[in-house]
Amino acid sequence: MGVRVPPGIRPGLASGRLAHAVEVQAVHDVQIYSDLMRAVRIQRFGGPEVLEVAEIEPPQPEDDEVLVELRAAGVNRADILLRSGSYHDAPPFPIVPGREGSGVVLGVGPGAAGLRPGDRVVGVVGSPGFYAEQIVVPAVRTVPIPDDLGWAEAASLPTAWLTAWYCVRRLGRVRPGETVLVQAAASGVGDAAVQIAKHAGARVIAAAGSDEKVGWALEHGADEGVNYERHDVVAEALRITGDRGVDVVIDAVGGRVFPSSLKATGHGARVVALANVTLEDSTVNTRDFYPKNVTIYGFQIANLMERGYDPRPDLEELIPLVADGTFRVHIDKTFPLAEAEAAHRYLEERRNRGKVVLVPGS
Ligand SMILES: NC(=O)c1ccc[n+]([C@@H]2O[C@H](COP(=O)([O-])OP(=O)(O)OC[C@H]3O[C@@H](n4cnc5c(N)ncnc54)[C@H](OP(=O)(O)O)[C@@H]3O)[C@@H](O)[C@H]2O)c1
């Protein structure tokens, strides 16, 4: 077995195994790293079958980076877009997908202040990607997590939950007593948006693609529900609000659903468009929003971060509320890392209610 100590980092003892099929050794308090780790990668765009398990070089942290042994990685629609070649910003092949995850710090670069080996952290946007056993993440993209926050729950926070947090609170500016319509309310983002809007004191209308999903959203906090595959969301929203229309829409679907988000609004409403799950065009009539002084926001968290948004303060506010049970991150299903293909199929077939997570150690 070849062994190696990543150069230039302050090493520490990890609590779990480090890499596939090799023993972990500790010599004079220095962790010995294996030559290879398991990761899921793609070498061409395509269906879920292009996700392959490979043994690759573990990453090494640079100056201000943190090396993390991953315990859970969130599976997101963005990963599916990336895999299928529809994401706006794909790196060169081979690509290891995954933009969020949680784990234990193995080592830190000399410029990575405030984190130590053994710390439990959640991270967002790292290299090579979170569908792996190890990753390096810039220290400014990691946040410590408490012992009572589960790995899967933590791994689900930086994308779906942070998106919902930002959209409901900052863009929607939801106030007590307002009515919020959440499109795709049983999705990862939708579930979070329902709970965050309720916490802000709103009445929430959950729209989803089946009666079962609508029922699920009602069980988990929504006040009213509508199946947008079978019923007219606009008519329902107007009925529920006594013809006033809703105050805020969190639209996690886009495409053919987006016109109903505009039509369902009342005076001064805020509509947050954060998705186009089917990549379809939306046909809208401007009269459905300008006469009501409706504001339409676009939101993309990746773009926001690339342009300077620091996710740590919002995550630091969100994490205690999840740890103390104020919010419940619903983990629908976990898959072993090697079953990333099945995890993608599950999400693409619209079978999830809440989040899907990969577990590298299983
Ligand atoms: N802008 C951002 O920064 C940002 C961040 C996170 C996520 N997103 C986007 O927000 C959306 C929701 O994300 P998520 O993580 O919550 O995803 P998700 O759990 O996979 O939910 C997506 C949902 O969209 C609904 N949907 C409606 N028509 C669909 C169709 N033709 N095919 C597939 N799904 C369809 C489905 O719910 P029903 O079965 O109930 O219709 C599906 O479960 C995704 O499009 C994602 O890319 C954007």
Residues 150 and 183 both lie in one domain: no
Give yes or no for residue 188 having a pLDDT over 80: yes
| pLDDT digit string, tens, across residues 31-65 | 445 589 999 999 999 999 999 999 999 999 999 99
The residue whose CA has the least distance to atom 25 of ligand 1 is 184
The predicted structure's pLDDT at residue 88: 80
Mean pLDDT across the chain: 91
Residues 172 and 289 both lie in one domain: yes
The predicted structure's pLDDT at residue 3: 34
Q: What range defines the domain where residue 244 resides? A: 160-302
* 318 located within any domain: no
Domain count, the chain: 2
Q: Which atom of ligand 1 is nearest to the CA of 160?
A: 6
Is 172 strand, coil or helix?
Answer: coil
* 319 located within any domain: no
C-alpha 188 – ligand 1 centre gap (Å):
8
Q: What pairing do the DSSP bridges indicate for beta strands 3-4 and 134-138?
A: unpaired
Q: Which residues pair with 201 in a beta bridge?
A: none
* 187 located within any domain: yes
| CATH code: domain of residue 77 | 3.90.180.10
Residues 149 and 166 both lie in one domain: no
* 271 located within any domain: yes
For the chain, the residue count is: 362
Which residues touch 115 (CB under 8 Å, ≥6 apart)?
66, 105, 108, 121, 139, 142, 144
Residues 80 and 188 both lie in one domain: no
Give yes or no for residue 16 having a pLDDT over 60: no
* 205 located within any domain: yes
Residues 234 and 281 both lie in one domain: yes
Nearest to 154 by CA among 318, 293, 283: 318
Cβ of residue 273 lying under 6 Å from some atom of ligand 1: no
Choice between 183 and 26, residue whose per-residue pLDDT is larger:
183
Residues 144 and 183 both lie in one domain: no
Give yes or no for residue 22 having a pLDDT over 70: no
Residues 126 and 246 both lie in one domain: no
Residues 169 and 141 both lie in one domain: no
Give yes or no for residue 6 having a pLDDT over 60: no
The tokens for 201 are: 């004191």
Give yes or no for residue 2 having a pLDDT over 70: no
Cβ of residue 188 lying under 6 Å from some atom of ligand 1: yes
Residues 195 and 132 both lie in one domain: no
Give Dmax (Cα) for the chain: 72
Q: Which of 171, 277, 296, 305 to mutate to test the pocket of ligand 1 (most atoms within 8 A of CB)?
A: 277
Q: Which of 80, 83, 189 to mutate to test the pocket of ligand 1 (most atoms within 8 A of CB)?
A: 189
Ramachandran angles phi, psi of 283, nearest 5°: -105, 115
* 94 located within any domain: yes
